[in-house]
Structure 1
């Protein structure tokens, strides 16, 4: 059955609507970053760049490094943007855009988030590099999607829900795990591993308070008590759960790598954030 024009939206040139991208411009390995300016900080390591696209917050470079084809693209901040990005990347490889029909043979992408984050625990200092073994979505996106869940994901989601007892939270937490093949690929780098919380915003949703009052100031302290499968709740950011959940639903592999810039328990911030992000980029590219 052909997908309606209102569901699969294309530009006049046949490219996918938001990303403005054609299927042949996408590599099987995709690096996702939040900041559009970070795209060129990664693609500068490529041997060559074949494709450059810019539309809204989405900056996309596809090229080659060491004989491997790679796409790096910015998503902007938050799982609302991740919803657009992952669905449209999947459409580029698994839907025939000309006939608007699903392909019989599906293609699996490797999705690698390279981003910044704040640690929840004093024993994860600023300057650390951390892989998200699991993620807990506290922003609501995954509640809209059907997806397979493992027994461990179900148990972790129940633990997260129990921690929120007594808080008028209003959103069911969703638990998701990373792509295990990518996890093993990146373990030789020696990154820390933990459970990442994905929030719907930067200030009150992450327990920050400037002038607008935070209604749930106990949120982070509750999650600091979370331990599961040998991992502890480790850090907080705004994209990982959405990436993991949609990757699982659509048959892709995903892994989130985090440069820890802030320590929320100690109340400190890294004094050289750009250098730490550069270190994370270089270590990641070595293993890609």
Structure 2
């Protein structure tokens, strides 16, 4: 494994690095100093969606956000456009996260994962518990832990079939609608005060939005179902003693994703922690979100 570094300028830009791992090169962004905190984005997302959160936590941690393999700047070897025509594998994602932690000193690290990234964090803690001090799993799509997953599975299959028949735009629109996220596009700015036009995107946010949009087809074709169908090994997590915190957005109450996270917490015998906002609370309310995450990690 090799790391290529592109130093950031000043205190606001990250130290951008590229880590060679088996079959891919992982783009990751390092900020701050202190204990290692790995930040894992979900689904089609990349390090950019966690940049604001990473900056706010860099006063206490060495924050490392990355693009999961196949997304944005983490290209796969020997494939067209850096993506493979095969389903994503949670064991491979978990191994990538382990390689990152080892490249940055070997941990143990605190790991925050959101949505599909929470599934990756849980898989990492199962496979390499010695590398993980604590996992904060924010709204993991643990479909298979529901008492009756049939309705959620039907939603996922409907989204996938819609994508195959009608294309990326229709598939993503249905994904957002069925998950209660159709008020805005992923990573798009919120409405301005008084319901007016949203403020213009920053250059950084616009670049992130463009990259993430470019990942939608890969997510619909090869990511959504594997990430949702992964069943965390709660018995193994109990045995290895990994500290797991399940985070649920206060704005997600009543949504399927809230029930899935609650099911994981129940299997682990823990009470979930309420985080600000909904499924994208780390973007909509980054300061309050960071405060809760600091407290959760400090409690361990």
TM-score by length of 2: 0.34
**Which one has more relative contact order, counting CA pairs under 8 Å at least 6 apart?**
1
- Which structure: larger Rg? 1
TM-score by length of 1: 0.35
Which one has a larger percent helix, Structure 1 or Structure 2?
Answer: 2
